[in-house]
Amino acid sequence: MVLKIRGLIADGGLGVGDSLPTERELCERFQASRNTVREAMRILKAYGVVSVRPKVGATIIDDRMERALDLFSFNTLDISRRAFNDIQGFRRLIEVGSVDTIFEQMRPADIEEMRRINELLRNSTSIVEASEMDFRFHLRIVSILDNRAVRDVYGIMKPVIIRIMERAKELHNFTGETFEQHAAVVDALEQRDRIRYQYALQSHLNIGIAAFEDLTEEGLP
């Protein structure tokens, strides 16, 4: 459905500021259920392509996200082990590989904020809420780098990262274990222990790999 709506935008020559057909019209046009159309619009909204407002409908707000959309193919529900490794590998490059810059630029306020977010995670009442706090925790680490391009990339990748976090939490204690892993990362940062920080964060990022089926034998990317 997402691909069909994108095709509708492209074929219709629609651009930023233009309105999409109503939910009912999309259902009729593509012979789809209301839930399917709503889920597609949720994904488009998550990637910053449309803005959805009550009584106004969906408006195109940014068509420059197409390459980011193609990168992940909207595959936020079925993530293979290879995709998991690619995403987590990228995150290791940023969050673990930038350790020297992180240690150089971090301030006491950064440590305090990460502990606050981690407490919110521990008090979460659902996997969705815990995963959102998990993402916020890692985005806070990335924010120490003070690099807008990196933050923007994390924003683009958020739906996929969130899905990875949700899947991992389905197999583990979604608050306790993640809280303890985060706490170990923050403790290492506070003590400026590079080796401990890198070990704690790499171990944390590897958690959950068993949740993703290896599809490479079936010839899937």
Q: Name the residue type at position 173.
A: N
Which alpha helices (H) appear in 12-147, and where do they start and end?
Answer: 23-30, 34-46, 66-72, 81-91, 99-105, 108-122, 127-143
Helix (H) or strand (E) holding 187: helix 176-190
Q: Looking at the whole model, is its pTM more than 0.75?
A: no
What tokens does 83 get?
Answer: 């995709």
Lowest mean pLDDT among 33-42, 131-140, 172-181: 172-181
Per the listing, tokens 């259902």 go with 27
Per the listing, tokens 């910053």 go with 48
The Cα 203–Cα 40 span in angstroms is 34
Each residue's pLDDT tens digit, 80-115: 777 788 888 899 999 999 999 999 999 999 999 999
